[in-house]
């Protein structure tokens, strides 16, 4: 009898095929993992889970007595209750070092789209409103030689800084838990406190991981510190921003516009106020969503899973205390 693995939410079939000969793979998508009876039944026999954004907490772990590893198909792992997993000897892994360039492309892309009003003016043309020379009402703002403030100068933040500095001659300010000397040397990035960054930046790009410290990091006070000409960009997690405060900042014209790839609730409701602003670019969490990158991530997630199930230390183990091997 084959050992059971649960694939949850989203893992490319091309990667899962590596498991077919040795494991029974049961796939779940679009379910409530707390109430779905088939999922809860599968947990009883599952030794491994691979997938995206499954909340792994004490309640789930109590349903999974044989579980050895949860392999996240993402860089983030805030969905994993690592303390509870470690108590039970359940390993957790993620997929770093794969999506930086792809995500940076997407985030810098929506920054450009917001600054140059690309989505808004695309609609303007398609709606038949382009009947002559543009007026100043359709003018946008430059990106080159402006100041880009990056909050969260990790791998993705550094890759965004690279595009801004080397591609658009932008001055880079950054705020981070610790200094990023490599970014300072390569991209002439200047470390500063959060308030200074907010006051001086023409573009504020939010890229920290979601933690208790970063939840609602940007709210009413922070938006009021930004320039009226500032474009706010969020490519981190929706909960790092107080969306009500963002809506008020846009209504009061405290900022020029926003570019958002993440939201507090995803998918965002079609009647959400943020979707009513023409100066807000909204994309459906597309950061790593190219076939090439998603396949690399899925293959790495499966590689981590297989290592954990065969007694080896997974390459991207995030709670090393749970590993019982050599």
Radius of gyration of the chain (CA): 22
Q: Is 50 in the same domain as 39?
A: yes
pLDDT tens digit sequence for 251-282: 999 999 999 999 999 999 999 999 999 999 99
User: Is the CB of residue 115 less than 8 Å from the CB of residue 142?
Assistant: yes
Q: Is 150 in the same domain as 220?
A: yes
Count of structural domains within the chain:
2
User: How many CB atoms lie under 10 A from the CB of residue 92?
Assistant: 25
pLDDT classification of 324: cutoffs 50, 70, 90: confident
User: Is the CB of residue 54 less than 8 Å from the CB of residue 32?
Assistant: no
Is 80 exceeded by the pLDDT of residue 309?
yes
pLDDT classification of 325: cutoffs 50, 70, 90: confident
Q: Is 121 in the same domain as 202?
A: yes
- What does the pLDDT read at residue 1? 81
Least-confidence region, from 68-72, 163-167, 208-212, 232-236: 208-212
Is 90 exceeded by the pLDDT of residue 147?
yes
- What does the pLDDT read at residue 38? 98
Q: Is 121 in the same domain as 93?
A: no
- What does the pLDDT read at residue 58? 97
Strand-pairing partners, residue 231, are 203, 257
- Catalytic amino acids? 237, 266, 285
- Whether 287 is in a domain gets the answer no
| CATH code of the domain in which 77 resides | 3.40.50.720
- Whether 116 is in a domain gets the answer yes
Sort strands 91-93 and 3-8 into parallel, antiparallel or unpaired.
unpaired
Is 80 exceeded by the pLDDT of residue 170?
yes
Range of the domain at 143: 100-282
- What does the pLDDT read at residue 168? 98
- What does the pLDDT read at residue 11? 85
Element containing residue 23 per DSSP (H, E)? strand 23-28
User: Is the CB of residue 230 less than 8 Å from the CB of residue 204?
Assistant: yes
pLDDT tens digit sequence for 82-132: 999 999 999 999 999 999 999 999 999 999 999 999 999 999 999 999 999
Q: Is 171 in the same domain as 217?
A: yes
User: How many CB atoms lie under 10 A from the CB of residue 151?
Assistant: 26
Contacts of residues 60-64 at CB distance under 8 Å and 24 or more positions apart, as own/partner, are 60/33, 60/34, 61/85, 61/88, 61/90
User: Is the CB of residue 104 less than 8 Å from the CB of residue 162?
Assistant: yes
pLDDT tens digit sequence for 179-232: 999 999 999 999 999 999 999 999 999 999 999 999 999 999 999 999 999 999
- Tell me the CA distances in angstroms from 288 to 2, 111, 207, 235, 291, one per residue in order: 33, 16, 14, 11, 9
The residues near 194 (Cβ < 8 Å, ≥ 6 apart) are 151, 175, 222
């Amino acid at each position: 009898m084959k050992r059971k693995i649960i694939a949850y939410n989203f893992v490319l079939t091309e990667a899962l095929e590596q498991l077919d000969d040795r494991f029974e793979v049961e796939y779940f998508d679009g379910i409530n993992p707390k109430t779905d009876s088939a999922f809860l039944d599968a947990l009883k026999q599952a030794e491994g889970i691979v997938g995206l954004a499954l909340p792994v907490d004490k309640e789930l772990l109590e349903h999974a007595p044989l579980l050895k590893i949860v392999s996240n198909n993402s860089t983030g792992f805030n969905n994993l209750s690592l303390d509870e997993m470690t108590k039970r000897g359940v390993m957790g892994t993620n997929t770093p070092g794969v999506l930086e360039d792809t995500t940076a492309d997407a985030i810098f892309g929506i920054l450009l789209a917001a600054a140059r009003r690309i989505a808004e003016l695309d609609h303007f043309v398609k709606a038949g409103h382009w009947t002559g020379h543009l007026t100043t009402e359709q003018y946008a703002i430059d990106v080159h030689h402006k100041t880009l403030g990056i909050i969260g100068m990790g791998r993705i933040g550094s890759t965004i800084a690279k595009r801004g500095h080397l591609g658009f001659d932008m001055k880079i300010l950054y705020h981070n838990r610790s200094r990023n000397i490599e970014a300072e040397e390569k991209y002439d990035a200047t470390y500063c406190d959060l308030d200074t960054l907010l006051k001086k930046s023409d573009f504020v790009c939010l890229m920290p991981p979601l933690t208790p410290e970063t939840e609602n990091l940007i709210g009413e006070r922070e938006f009021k510190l930004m320039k009226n000409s500032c474009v706010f960009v969020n490519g981190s997690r929706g909960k790092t921003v107080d969306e009500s405060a963002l809506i008020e900042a846009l209504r009061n014209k405290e900022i020029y516009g926003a570019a958002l790839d993440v939201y507090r609730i995803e998918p965002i409701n079609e009647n959400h106020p943020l979707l009513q602003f023409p100066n807000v670019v909204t994309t459906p969490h597309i950061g790593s969503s190219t076939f090439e990158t998603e396949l690399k991530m899925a293959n790495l997630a499966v590689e981590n899973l297989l290592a954990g199930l065969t007694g080896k230390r997974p390459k991207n183990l995030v709670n090393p205390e749970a590993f019982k091997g050599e």
